[in-house]
Amino acid sequence: MNRAASGGLPDWVVEKIAALDADAILVTAHWGWSMAAEPMAHVRAAAGALLAADVTLIAGHSAHVFHGVASRVPYDLGDFLDDYRVDWKLRNDLGLLFLVDLAGSRVEAIPLKLEFAHTRLPTAKTRLGSGVGSSMPARPSGRP
């Protein structure tokens, strides 16, 4: 398999995943640029290739801001603890705690307010924006 066909993933990554005998496979990928507003094209391509390789869940991180959820892919989890200057456009002062139930095919996101080196639940004064939610199959197709 060449890199273009595999979403830019090295062949050995796909081979290692294929060799696993597991009920669920979680990949935590450190990808993309810091403080980017959305997942880059190569990140989306790599996510597609990982899903095609039968990965159960991909939890991306790197940007320090939440990037949204596609089927079984939270592209960037954002921060859980912050020591960055707040970017009021990207809102890196807001975070999400993800609760994942692989057996029940459910993902729940709990909003967080990030302050310098401290994380707490948001108050009524915190402007959070839109809610987040996703469904995800317990196992990708093709897995026993």
Q: Into how many domains does the chain fold?
A: 1
* Residue 138 predicted with pLDDT over 60: no
Residue 3 resides in a domain: no
Return the exposure string of 5-29: e unless at least 16 CB atoms fall within 10 Å of the residue's CB, then b. Answer: ebbbbeeebbeebeeeeeeebebeb
- Classify residue 32: in a domain, yes or no: yes
User: What average pLDDT is seen over the chain?
Assistant: 81
Q: Flag whether 35 is in a domain.
A: yes
The answer as to whether 141 is a domain residue is no
| Residues 29-75: tens digit of each pLDDT | 999 899 999 999 999 999 999 999 999 999 999 999 999 888 889 99
> What domain range is 119 assigned to?
11-135
